[in-house]
Amino acid sequence: MLKAGLTPNVVSVLSIGCAAVGGGAALMASSSGHAWAFWLLAAAGIQLRLFCNMMDGLLAVEGGLKSVTGDLFNEIPDRIDDAIILVPLGYAGGTDWSVALGWAAMGGAMLTAYIRALGASLTGGRHDFCGPMAKPHRMFAVTVGCLSMMTIDIMNVKAPPLMLWCLVIVNAGIVITCWRRTTHLVKALNQKKPKG
């Protein structure tokens, strides 16, 4: 990527394209005769999104390409990525519950990031990336969900609504993550010495 002249900000924006492939493929899987291929493509798009998220940081730190707008390009595409992956997965689940859980997961993903960013602003820049459903964990869970749906389609067997249950797990983990990050932040703030 360095040799190709890519900057961290460009790679961050590329992650949106990868996420769009993942979310779009999941939607196509729900109405395609070759669902397994779209589920595989969805899993690949989700993992490529994570790859871009990892590489933008490496380019910035190891490649010496930090910029004044780096934090913006690091955070904003991430929130877009979560939305265009999690919401389509809810619709791909095929039930009203899965749709609701997809939207809830998107909102929850943004809340976890908000608590982390707020905590960093209040504690001098220390980010809390604890789980159990931080971004890498969420993407791992939904990737497993996509690959499970692919396997079911290949085997041509009747199965329980796996994507629905995947989103139940993601949302439950998000609730726990928000609680943990908030309690960590409260503890850190209580330990700060008062000014004056």
What's the pLDDT tens digit per position in 157-167?
A: 887 789 999 99
Answer yes or no: are the C-beta atoms of 5 and 11 closer than 8 Å. no
**Could you tell me if residue 37 is inside a domain?**
yes
Burial of 121: CB neighbours in 10 Å, binned 0-12, 13-18, 19+: exposed
Within 8 A by CB and 6+ apart from 83, the residues are 106
**Could you tell me if residue 73 is inside a domain?**
yes
**Could you tell me if residue 195 is inside a domain?**
no
**Could you tell me if residue 159 is inside a domain?**
yes
- Expressed as residue numbers, the domain containing 15 is 8-190
Q: Note the pLDDT of residue 195.
A: 60
Q: How many domains does the chain have?
A: 1
Q: Note the pLDDT of residue 176.
A: 97
**Could you tell me if residue 196 is inside a domain?**
no
Q: Extract the residue ranges of the chain whose pLDDT is less than 70.
A: 193-196
Q: Note the pLDDT of residue 194.
A: 66
Q: Model pTM?
A: 0.91
At 115, which CATH number? 1.20.120.1760
Q: Note the pLDDT of residue 71.
A: 85
Q: Note the pLDDT of residue 4.
A: 86
d(CA 93, CA 147): 13
**Could you tell me if residue 32 is inside a domain?**
yes
Q: Note the pLDDT of residue 32.
A: 77
**Could you tell me if residue 162 is inside a domain?**
yes
**Could you tell me if residue 3 is inside a domain?**
no
Cα 47 to the center of its chain, rounded Å = 10
